[in-house]
Structure 1
Amino acid sequence: MPEAILEPELPIVDPHHHLWDRRAYVAEANEHPFVEAIRPAAVYLLDELMADTKSGHNVIATVFVECGAFYKADGPVELRPIGETEFVNGVAAMSASGLYGDFRACAGIVGRADLLLGDAVAPVLETHIKSGGGRFRGIRNSASFDADKDVLGPLNRVEAGLYRDATFREGFKRLAPLGLSFDAWLLEPQLPDVIDLARAFPDTTIVLDHVGTPLGRASYAGKLPERFPGWKANIQELAKSPNVVVKLGGLAMAFCNFPSFLAEPRAPSEQLAREWGPYIETCIEAFGPDRCMFESNFPVDMGSCSYATLWNAFKHIAKGASAAEKTALFSGTAKKVYRLEL
């Protein structure tokens, strides 16, 4: 039986979700818990997003984050990710028509450009901006890597040290002059890399995705408690860079491997709040509510819970916050960072 919705009037801007058609991917990918988690959402487009955002919470807008969806099939390789921005801008235009109510899907768009192009990435960034209908806000390049290939499974895509690479940084320096932010996804042992990046580029807004992705799978199985102090120390160090903000979520993913992941029956929001609370509370304490934003990371996080249950868990965690702090955590920080006019 679905849970009762907590604080149903509280406005939410969901700053991190995907849209995709992954039917071929889930049919062909090697077995891995990540694949099993997203298999029920092999197709996740506007209808599926609407079903989730209208499941009881007051979600007023969202931000789309790149996921390799609907790239162009031909043309220069570096320009193929423009297809994703064009597709998402079309979805945003559908939502902005008002035919679906006041909800604004994909009010902000975070796309992908290969920053390893160095200075040559500039025309790619400019094309994204032109293709985004005034909604394009930033770039994400994942640096997620671990020597244990079983941690990431099908998401083993880059080598170690991407954010420290000199050519990558030549591309990265092109972001701030264009008013673009950078979403950083990497794993907990790699947090020193984003600390160094933030210090090197103090004028670029960096958004740490998924609280830095604590690891509890493969060679890290059962080690979340012993690794927590090191993760916490790195989060506190990262928070010293005022250009960094953090997304509170992604803890329902396979890589964290909390007891709630793929559990049957599904874990209630109270259990999720207990499992995720120490990580989220540490981030809020280190960064402050004005530099933190709750995220759904859907449909990836459906491996642990429904969309409605996920936001209930966040509301349990934030129950002691003031009204102003809740506004920042659930909508205000996302509006500010992604420059959303709603």
Structure 2
Amino acid sequence: MATNEEWLGKVREEIVEPDLPIIDPHHHLWDYPESRYMLDELNADTGSGHNIRATVFVECKSMYRAEGPEHLRPVGETEFVNGIAAQSASGIYGEMRACKGIVGFANLLLDEAVDEVLEAHIAAAPQRFRGIRHANAYDDSPEVRPTHTNPPKGLFGLPKFREGFARLAKFNLTFDAWLYHHQIPELTALARAHPEVTIIFDHFGGPIGIGPYEGRREEIFAQWMKDVVELSECPNVVAKLGGINMAVNGFGWHKRALPPTSDELVAATQDYYLHAIDAFGPERCMFESNFPVDKLSCSYAVVWNAFKKMAKGASADEKAALFHDTAKRVYRLD
């Protein structure tokens, strides 16, 4: 998933509303031979002109422990990110506070062993650990890659998963849900069964635009709208607005000679954002970068310009919720 800085640099824009305070509630960190995204890279992006005040890290199977019990190895990711957060909190790297909230992974199919994992995550980052993501993006087509957790079909409905999921409430932890568009009813059923757990609906539920879904965007969008309205009726669910510039979404930005402008992103994707805001309300929505995954398609400065253009009709209070306050409240960043 290497990004091309030279290609991204071919489109530069004046920053829209540069003083608007922003919390970016969804990004990753990793260090692979072919792709590096660490504090330096994050700071370069968040320092590209927008007023990013803090960020939330979301698990991505990075820096797991190489040894020890298998179920506790994901705690290594939290240990790693908490160290990055401490670097940022020193102030040496600027005013932006990276990874002020941390969302990690625990296998929620582990029955009572889930408690041990959750306790270990919290112990590793007691001031910052806020939630769990056990990704569920699965499709029957071999052309659509399953997510990094390699989930079984129907994960959210499995009794063992439901038992582990219910334990999150005891630890006051949220749940980030990454899934594909046809799985949204499964998430709605989970949210109804467990109203005590706050669920964050990631990336619009991953509308697929490749493989057997290519060329069916209007049909998929029509059903997606209905499913999102039904999901929004669950008061324990909030929505992240972003993460729709991945290759799986099928817009093909990464294949172009030039990356998209913010106006092009608005024209292609605005309907998803406006419908989600209408369904959930600004106080239950937060814009997200999903970097560096979406960086395959567009720059950080451009994607946040697109968000601001889509929110141009919102009031000052609504903008504060969408760009800052919802993320601050949901992830308890005080």
1:14 match: secondary structure: strand
Distance 2:76 2:243 in 1: 26
Distance 1:48 1:86 in 2: 19
Check if 1:144 corresponds to 2:130.
no
Distance 2:176 2:299 in 1: 24
Check if 1:106 corresponds to 2:99.
yes
Residue 331 (structure 1) aligns with = 324
Q: 1:167 aligns with which of 131, 136, 160?
A: 160
User: Which stretch has the larger CA shift, 262-271 or 303-312?
Assistant: 262-271
Check if 1:283 corresponds to 2:293.
no
The 1:300/1:78 distance shift into structure 2, 3 A limit, reads: same
Percent sequence identity is 55
Tell me by how many angstroms 1:101 deviates: 2.1
User: Which stretch has the larger CA shift, 257-266 or 241-250?
Assistant: 257-266
Distance 2:231 2:205 in 1: 10
- The residue identity in structure 2 corresponding to 1:148 is S
Tell me by how many angstroms 1:261 deviates: 4.0
User: Which stretch has the larger CA shift, 292-301 or 129-138?
Assistant: 129-138
- List alignment gaps of at least 5 residues for structure 2: 1-10
Check if 1:97 corresponds to 2:90.
yes
Tell me by how many angstroms 1:133 deviates: 3.5
Residue 25 (structure 2) aligns with = 15
- The residue identity in structure 1 corresponding to 2:98 is A
1:308 match: secondary structure: helix
Counterparts of residues 150-161 of structure 1 (less than 5 Å)? 150-152=143-145, 155=148, 157-161=150-154
Task: Output one character per residue of 1:265-297: Cα deviation in whole Å (capped at 9) or x when no partner.
Answer: 111100101111000100000000000000000
8 A contact 2:134–2:149 mirrored in 1 = no
Tell me by how many angstroms 1:170 deviates: 0.8
8 A contact 2:61–2:148 mirrored in 1 = no
Q: 1:62 aligns with which of 55, 59, 63?
A: 55
Q: 1:6 aligns with which of 2, 16, 38?
A: 16
The 1:285/1:154 distance shift into structure 2, 3 A limit, reads: closer
- The residue identity in structure 2 corresponding to 1:71 is Y
- The residue identity in structure 2 corresponding to 1:17 is H
Distance 2:147 2:166 in 1: 30
Residue 87 (structure 1) aligns with = 80
Tell me by how many angstroms 1:263 deviates: 2.2
Distance 1:289 1:147 in 2: 34
Residue 236 (structure 1) aligns with = 229
8 A contact 1:293–1:331 mirrored in 2 = yes
The 1:261/1:251 distance shift into structure 2, 3 A limit, reads: farther
Distance 1:156 1:96 in 2: 30
Distance 2:111 2:274 in 1: 37
Distance 1:331 1:156 in 2: 29
User: Which stretch has the larger CA shift, 49-58 or 144-153?
Assistant: 144-153
8 A contact 2:108–2:165 mirrored in 1 = yes
The 1:265/1:183 distance shift into structure 2, 3 A limit, reads: same
- The residue identity in structure 1 corresponding to 2:273 is I
- The residue identity in structure 2 corresponding to 1:140 is R
Q: Calculate the TM-score normalised by the size of structure 2.
A: 0.95
2:49 match: secondary structure: coil
Q: 1:122 aligns with which of 112, 115, 124?
A: 115
Tell me by how many angstroms 1:153 deviates: 6.2
Aligned residues: 324
8 A contact 1:263–1:304 mirrored in 2 = no
Tell me by how many angstroms 1:156 deviates: 7.7
Task: Output one character per residue of 1:156-187: Cα deviation in whole Å (capped at 9) or x when no partner.
Answer: 81221000010011111110110000000000
1:190 match: secondary structure: helix
Q: 1:300 aligns with which of 280, 293, 297?
A: 293
Counterparts of residues 44-63 of structure 1 (less than 5 Å)? 44-63=37-56
User: Which stretch has the larger CA shift, 299-308 or 256-265?
Assistant: 256-265
Residue 258 (structure 2) aligns with = 265
- The residue identity in structure 2 corresponding to 1:260 is W
Distance 1:304 1:313 in 2: 13
Residue 36 (structure 1) aligns with = none
Residue 128 (structure 2) aligns with = 135
RMSD over aligned CA atoms reads 1.1
- List alignment gaps of at least 5 residues for structure 1: 27-41
The 1:156/1:92 distance shift into structure 2, 3 A limit, reads: closer
Q: Calculate the TM-score normalised by the size of structure 1.
A: 0.93
Tell me by how many angstroms 1:314 deviates: 0.5
Distance 1:14 1:165 in 2: 32
User: Which stretch has the larger CA shift, 316-325 or 156-165?
Assistant: 156-165
Distance 2:148 2:24 in 1: 24
8 A contact 1:109–1:138 mirrored in 2 = yes
- The residue identity in structure 2 corresponding to 1:223 is R
Residue 245 (structure 2) aligns with = 252
Q: 2:180 aligns with which of 179, 187, 191?
A: 187
8 A contact 1:217–1:255 mirrored in 2 = yes
Runs of 4+ more than 3 Å apart:
153-156
